[in-house]
Amino acid sequence: MTRTLRKEACEGDVIILHACAHNPTGADLTRQQWETVAEICKESGLFAVFDMAYQGFASGDLAQDASAITHFFDRSDLEFAVAQSFSKNFGLYGERVGVLHMVVLETDTAAKVTPLLTQLSRAEITSCPSYGARIVAKILSSPILLGQWQQDLVTMSERMKSMRKALYQELQRRAVRGSWEHLLTDIGMFSMTGLTRDQVDELRTNHHIYLLPSGRLSVTGLTSNNVDIVVQGFLSVLGTN
């Protein structure tokens, strides 16, 4: 990643970064790696756009999951944007609730950006449905509801970790062909399985197990009642080591 940014990115280029719980790989950057990326952005004049759709689903802690953004902000020498979605972590997928944050270094830049964003929003949306946004605002402004929501995020994060562990253990127990250690180190809702498109089609047709054609698995679709069924499907498609 850093090699590509250094060799191929040009000054003024926009790069999209997942703040946490990377989709589709589940492979998040470390603190040191984020520091390196930030330095490359500064040196090369790159503009980062953070896609933050899964805050709270990585570690269960809102601040920790936003630590990459915090690092960029604390440097005080980078301009960047954050596209923050509440669709997943508030369970409002059908409402598509979110907000765009723009971080700029000069007040005159902010004065130019604000009317431009207003104009774009007017042309693209004009008037957003308010239902989902009001739910989010209500929860964030109530200490009691905020605390309950934060605990729900911990519960969800821990459940995903437990499902990853259960899937890994069953794949190992059944000796399903492949390397599965990454399931334990990946973070968030998704992981790549390495299955080909044909194998994904076979899983869907013969076992009614649904992955994306890329082989991406949604960990949230796993339960204690279906892990063995999923592994049996994988075993049928992949065979044993």
pLDDT digits (tens, 9 = 90+) for 151-176: 999 999 999 999 999 999 999 999 99
Each residue of 109-144: b (16+ CB within 10 Å) or e?
A: eeeeeeeeeeeeeeeeeeeeeeebbebbeebeeeee
Q: Please list, in sequence order, all residues whose beta carbon lies within 8 angstroms of the beta carbon of residue 222, skipping any fewer than 6 positions away.
A: 163, 166, 167, 230
* Percent of the chain clearing pLDDT 70 (strictly above): 100
Burial class (CB in 10 A: 0-12, 13-18, 19+), 9: middle
Cα 53 to Cα 38: distance, rounded to the nearest angstrom: 20
Overall size of the chain counted in residues: 241
H/E segment holding residue 83? strand 80-85
> What is the reported pLDDT for 241?
80
User: What pairing do the DSSP bridges indicate for beta strands 80-85 and 47-52?
Assistant: parallel
Could you report how far apart the first and last alpha carbons of the chain are, in Å?
Answer: 31
**Three-class SS state of 64:** helix
Residue-wise pLDDT for 34-77, tens only, equals: 999 999 999 999 999 999 999 999 999 999 999 999 999 999 99
Does residue 5 carry a pLDDT above 90?
A: yes
Does residue 127 carry a pLDDT above 90?
A: no
Cα 77 to Cα 110: distance, rounded to the nearest angstrom: 15
Burial class (CB in 10 A: 0-12, 13-18, 19+), 35: middle
Q: Please list, in sequence order, all residues whose beta carbon lies within 8 angstroms of the beta carbon of residue 201, skipping any fewer than 6 positions away.
A: none
Residue ranges of domains in the chain, CATH in brackets: 2-140 (3.40.640.10), 157-238 (3.90.1150.10)
- The angle, 0 to 180 degrees and rounded to 10, between the axes of the packed helices 197-207 and 227-238 is 130
Does residue 126 carry a pLDDT above 90?
A: no
Cα 241 to Cα 239: distance, rounded to the nearest angstrom: 7
Residue-wise pLDDT for 183-241, tens only, equals: 999 999 999 999 999 999 999 999 999 999 999 999 999 999 999 999 999 999 999 98
